[in-house]
Structure 1
Amino acid sequence: MVSKQLGKRLAAAALAGATMVSMAACGSGQAKTANAKHGSTSSIISVNNTEPLSALVPADTNEMGGSRIIRYLFEGLVSFDAKGRQHMEVAKSITANADSTQYAIKLNDGWKFTNGEAVTAQSFAKAWSFAANAKHAQKQASRMSIIKGYDALQKPDAADDAQLSGLQTPDDHTLIVTLNAPDSVFPTQVSHQSFAPLPSVAYKDIKAFGKHPIGDGPYMFKSWRPNTSITVVKNPDYRGSRKVMNGGIEYRDYSSPDAAYADVQSGNLDLLMDVPQSALKTFRTDSTIKAYSQPGSVYMGIVIPERLAHFGLNKEGDLRRQAISMAIDRNQIIDKVFYNTKTAATDFTSPGVPEHQKNLKGTANLRHNAAKAKQLWKQADAISPFKQKLTISYPTDGGHKPWIEAVCNQLKNTLGVDAVADAYPTMSDMLKRVLDRSIQTPYFSGWSLDYPSAEDYMTPLYSSESADGHGTNNGDYKNPQFDAALLKAKSEKDVAKRTADFNAAQEILLNDLPAIPMWCNNVSAASSPSVGNVHFDYTNVPTYNTITK
């Protein structure tokens, strides 16, 4: 079983000061009471979203427009509730061997996909193997690199249906997982959407499947109107902990955050997840809406790819990254632009995980120090003069323009560089350039926590195995010392020792700064007054299944 020690660590991940609800506590009696007060269980709840970049395939989605939907269409082995507490879902038990290199997973009986097909051990083994196979070019492929046999499936001569050698299914309800190295975080990692099971029909045409996905989660797919909306409805056969208290969710595509906020004010949109910058000063006292504000875990930063001239992983690059980071007055921007709805970064994680740190070696690189920034930039110029524009790219559909321009102004004033903001029409437009590596500038980056562990901020974003298109290390940062420190942390069962090892890995990042951590977003949301039971999980995402009206 998942250890008591692990359970205690996960429970400690509850967000401080947040008023949240446990999904396990949403029993039928409470659901009836809430719905009697707030409306019918058949109501469709409208929420804001962005158009998914690709089809709704769990292992091929690495942006929030698709992930918010996939997380509710599919259920995996385990889930985490709003307070960061783990719940067994399809898994009945997860048992590690002595050194955490192998896990025996027993599955509950009776789980089905919405087409009636049974969810079995093979449903997981085939899905994970499909994700790991380089021929299928799944964006979350590197999530499977922890499993034995991953390297073989990354070879160009691997068969389309090749299976990970580290997966055995002795019967329909048993999955044996052998890893490449000790990994005590594995029972937490499998909550990520990329580890979701897939029905057999998915492999006939994965792109077509992603346009009309069939899952085993609390909701089932209904329709997709491109660039307009995606609607999901309650899955009557769902048997997990995330009980549904409404009839479905309509995810509406908004290119303008201000338009979405206006729709909430007028009652034409039920819930807005991110209040636009233009309303941050007033939304908490706006009588036309219900306001929600609490600490959050969504990380925001600026990625500076190593391939850019003057920013390699070398002495000059280190100096320039550190100078840029110190030239930015995060607290001033948080105060003047965001009206204190962000929390300045002190490390590469967030207050949403128990390993979050405030005073690591290198944390000074995240503090405003104009004099030191000028000194470092001058030292870098002595190595190779910087005579070009310093361009920072961002999407216009996320309300990022004010703070990106504020950063550029600070860099101009402190470093004397020609810093300019470069706008892309949508997040999808920018992401396409990021993913094909054609973007030739530093760029805005955000990361939503997948599970309450510091590991989720490190492996996907900065490990070598997640670079070169195999994951979400889109800056292609590679440092063997960091990889080794991260591997050591993941192999450690003792919580205190594991945290110390994560700290050592973070200190390497704080020196190299493959990205410039800016802040973590607090939850700043708004709903129509007619909406009730709105809660936010450890990832800042609403618990869509609890919402009523």
Structure 2
Amino acid sequence: MRLSRMSKALGAAAALALALSACSGGGGTSGGSAQSSGDPNKVITAYSNEPQNPLLPANTNEVYGGRVVEMLFEGLRTYAADGKPVNALADSIESSDSQNWTIKVKQGQKFTNGEAITAKTFVDSWNFAALATNLQNNSFFFESIEGYEDVSATTKSTGADGKTTSTPAPKAQTMSGLSAPDDQTIKVKLVQPEADWSLRLGYSAFFPLPSEALKDPKKFGENPIGNGPYKMAKDTGAWVHDQSISLVKNADYKGPREAKNGGITFKFYTDPGPAYTDLQADNLDVTDVLPSNALKTYTTDFQDRNATKPVASNSTLNIPGYNPNFQGEAGKLRRQALSYAINREEIAKVVFNGTRTPSKAFAPPVIDGFKADIPGSEVLKYDPAKAKDLWAQADKIQPYDASKPLLIGSNTDGGNKEWVDAVANNFKNNLGIQSEIQPFAKFAELLNVRKSQSLPGLTRAGWQGDYPSLYNFLGPVWATGASSNYEKYSNPEFDKLLKDGLAAKSTDEANDKFNQAQEVLFKDLPGLPLWDQNRAIVWSNNVIKAETGWNGQIRYFDIQAK
């Protein structure tokens, strides 16, 4: 951690969610790795898919849009390959009480259109992101700042169909706890002390935006102007929808993630099979999504051109609370039955060839504070007899509606079909119910259906860490009203434990509260933890080397082309 000054209050919790106990990888505190003889002007091509939304940092909370936004923008901080925070646009981040923060912004920084980046730029960008009427997916990340409740306020109404909808009704336009007394200084007051708050400042929700983005966000999102290691390839046409997004090196960028190649072209695939073939033919340079049938051969297919390591990323099978089959006491028993019916160990071994590890909790082992024996986590064990018994108990309370197969929503562009089929077979064999995949060609399509709360069955879900914290795998996914809580799970006890953890004064105390919060999740089972990722990537003969960071995202700026 490179902070020019650090208070004692922060020091006790500086390690909160920082240490990645099992994560390896290159990169020091500068966020990059040693230079070599690669071609600094050559453009590399990378696997991706169509982003869900226009490319606004605070509205992008899925991986395909996120990997582009991360390359186009730079925030106050970034993260080294091992997850340690590195100051980028921040000269210093200080607090004496973990509630009142003073951030000094580096001077002379500009967007690629020449507009200066000042403290006010961040204040305006964060207020824009938090304001309810701007409908930014990541507004939840600003909940800790005083005044957030006023700018994010909504009114609720119930329609004739019984569904509750929320309408933006902000009581204020700006957060009272956020100000810029001069061009270099950001003042932040939180609702309560949170020792790890500054750790979040490398996440994309906190990136700065130029003034034109705030005036016309929809137009800006199609052709964003940033301040990161790359910029859009040209004024118009860099994003060819359903085909590709082209970025080129930003020659004016001087931060900790300086590009070692000439640009990135993200090529969109709806099936990882053709992408793998393109890689073998050197028509694609790098991918982090492998077809299931290649998981047993990728190390020999790409000898000396592959890498695998445990990362901060996991997968779950979410159970919408609006599904009548999984409500009430009968629904609770069925959720448990589904979990006991899944042979995670066999699927991880046979389908994923060891590139997944069966989950022991709602967070992966590489995150500091991970606990493998949380009360209630025994539900993750494979026990078909117990699964059948629980299912029968549920039927005595409320018969299961078997008029239609239990569908499992999943995108087919990420190599998911094989494991979904395996889970569906577990349900058929162990519970005697028909189950099958509900396929979506694009990840964005699945997210949109989840967001509209119109899933007929279950859905695959996953989480790639935004910043290295146990809280990050709980709050944004399961807290009431959270940005990625698409299935609308809500439990006041869970929310309170999260709040108590954020206010803790020590790492151990905070993680203890977060793990208590996981006990609540294991009682309710809004989702079933499946497996944690050992992220595998491969690259072409056009590339010297590639690597992933702490959360599994490829460090595109570090890729050196031949």
Q: TM-score range by the shorter chain?
A: over 0.9
Per-residue displacement from partner, 1:354-384 (whole Å, max 9, x unpaired)?
1222111111011111222122212211211
Asked if residue 240 in structure 1 is aligned to residue 255 in structure 2, the reply is yes
Measured at CA, do residues 538 and 19 of structure 1 come closer, stay the same or move farther in structure 2, by a change above 3 Å? closer
Amino acid in structure 1 at the alignment position of 2:121: S
Aligned position for 2:47: 48
1:80-132 Cα distance to aligned partner (Å, 9 max, x none): 1111111011111222242x222111111121111111111111111111111
1:14 CA displacement: 5.5
* Matched residue, 1:369: 383
Cα distance, 1:476 vs structure 2:
0.4
**Are 1:269 and 2:305 an aligned pair?**
no
Q: Distance in 2 between the 1:519 and 1:192 partners?
A: 24
Query: How far 1:321 sits from its partner (Å)?
Result: 1.0
Aligned match of 2:202: 191
- 2: CA distance between counterparts of 1:101 and 1:288? 51
Question: Are the aligned partners of 1:21 and 1:83 in contact in 2 as well (CA < 8 Å)?
Answer: yes
**Structure-2 separation of matches of 1:541 and 1:176:** 31
Q: Mapping of 1:104-143 within 5 angstroms?
A: 104-143=102-141
What is the DSSP-based 3-state SS (H/G/I as helix, E as strand, rest coil) of the residue aligned with 2:481?
helix
Which structure dedicates a bigger proportion of its chain to helix? 1
For residues 31-58 of structure 1, the C-alpha deviation after alignment (integer angstroms, 9 at most, x for no partner) is 2xx1x2xx31001011000111111000
| Counterpart AA for 1:439 | L
Q: Which residue of 2 aligns with 1:93?
A: 92
- Mapping of 1:147-226 within 5 angstroms? 147-155=145-153, 156-158=168-170, 162-222=173-233, 223-226=238-241
Q: Which runs of 4+ in 1 moved over 6 A?
A: none
- The 1:25/1:348 distance shift into structure 2, 3 A limit, reads closer
Aligned-partner Cα distance in 1 for 2:273–2:12: 45
**Residues of 1 paired with 2:268 and 2:304: CA distance?**
20
Partner secondary structure for residue 143 of structure 2: helix
Query: 1:432 maps to what in 2?
Result: 448
* Residue 501 (str. 1) matches residue 513 (str. 2): yes
1:58 aligns with 2:69: no
Aligned to 1:346: 360
Equivalent position amino acid for 2:90 in 1? A
Match of 1:281 in 2: 296
Q: Residue 481 of structure 2 contacts residue 488 of structure 2 at CA under 8 Å; is this kept in 1?
A: no
Once residues 26 and 334 of structure 2 are traced to their aligned partners in structure 1, the CA distance between those partners, rounded to angstroms, is: 41
Partner AA of 1:465 in structure 2: G
Do the aligned partners of 2:31 and 2:257 also contact (CA within 8 Å) in 1? no
Partner of 1:521: 533
- The Cα shift of 1:181 comes to 2.5
Which secondary structure does the structure 2 equivalent of 1:351 belong to?
coil
- Cα deviations across residues 264-301 of structure 1 (Å, max 9, x unaligned)? 10010111112211211111111577122221222111
Summarize the Cα distance change of 1:187–1:25 in structure 2 as closer, same or farther, 3 Å threshold. closer
| CA displacement at 1:20 relative to structure 2 | 2.4
8 Å contact from structure 2 (residues 409, 438) kept in 1: yes
The answer to whether structure 1 residue 322 and structure 2 residue 345 are counterparts is: no
1:227 aligned partner: 242
Aligned position for 2:476? 460
Count of equivalent residues: 534
User: What's the CA shift string for 1:239-287, capped at 9, x where partnerless?
Assistant: 3211211111111111110111101100101111122112111111115
Question: Any idea what SS the aligned residue of 2:548 has?
Answer: coil
- Once residues 451 and 72 of structure 1 are traced to their aligned partners in structure 2, the CA distance between those partners, rounded to angstroms, is 16
Q: State the match for 2:160 in structure 1.
A: none
Q: What 5-or-longer segments of structure 1 have no aligned partner?
A: none
Query: Does structure 1 conserve the Cα–Cα contact (< 8 Å) formed by 2:120 and 2:183?
Result: yes
1: distance between equivalents of 2:32 and 2:479? 38
1:485 correspondence with 2:497: yes
Q: Is 2:35 the counterpart of 1:20?
A: no
State how far apart, in whole Å, the 2-side matches of 1:236 and 1:375 are: 64
CA distance in 2, matches of 1:310, 1:438: 15
| 1:10 positional shift | 5.4
Distance 1:76 1:257 in 2: 32
Structure 1 position 427, deviation (Å): 1.5
Which whole-Å deviations, capped at 9, do the CAs of 1:49-85 have from their partners, x for residues lacking one?
Answer: 0111111000111111100010111111111111111
Report the CA distance shift for 1:547/1:379 in structure 2 as closer, same or farther (over 3 A).
Answer: same
Q: Which sections of structure 2, spanning at least 5 residues, go unmatched? A: 154-167
Deviation readout 1:455-480 (Å, 9 max, x if unpaired): 111111000031xxxx1100100000
Greater Cα shift, 7-16 or 353-362: 7-16
Q: Given residue 435 of structure 2, which amino acid in structure 1 is its aligned partner?
A: A
Q: Which amino acid aligns with 2:114?
A: G
User: For 2:13 and 2:546, how far apart are their aligned partners in 1?
Assistant: 28
| Rounded Cα–Cα distance in structure 2 between residues aligned with 1:512 and 1:11 | 28
2:408 is the alignment partner of 1:397: no
Q: Given the superposition, is the C-alpha separation of residues 25 and 178 from structure 1 closer, same or farther in structure 2, using an over 3 Å criterion?
A: closer
The residue number in structure 1 matching 2:159 is none
Task: Tell me, yes or no, if the aligned pair for 1:14 and 1:84 is still in contact at 8 Å.
Answer: no
Q: Given the superposition, is the C-alpha separation of residues 144 and 11 from structure 1 closer, same or farther in structure 2, using an over 3 Å criterion? A: closer
Q: Partner of 2:530: helix, strand, or coil?
A: strand
Cα offset, 1:23, TM superposition: 6.0
Task: Indicate the SS of the match to 2:232.
Answer: strand
Distance 1:232 1:438, change over 3 A: same
Q: Is the 8 A contact 2:192 2:503 kept in 1?
A: yes
TM-score (norm 2): 0.92
- Separation of aligned partners in 1, 2:297 and 2:344: 21
Instruction: Give the letter for the 2:370 counterpart.
Output: H
| SS, match of residue 326 in structure 2 | coil
- Structure 1: distance between partners of 2:207 and 2:22: 26
Instruction: Say if 1:14 and 1:538, in contact at 8 Å, map to a contact too.
Output: no
Of 282, 286, 304, 2:319 maps to: 304
Give 2:280's aligned amino acid.
Q
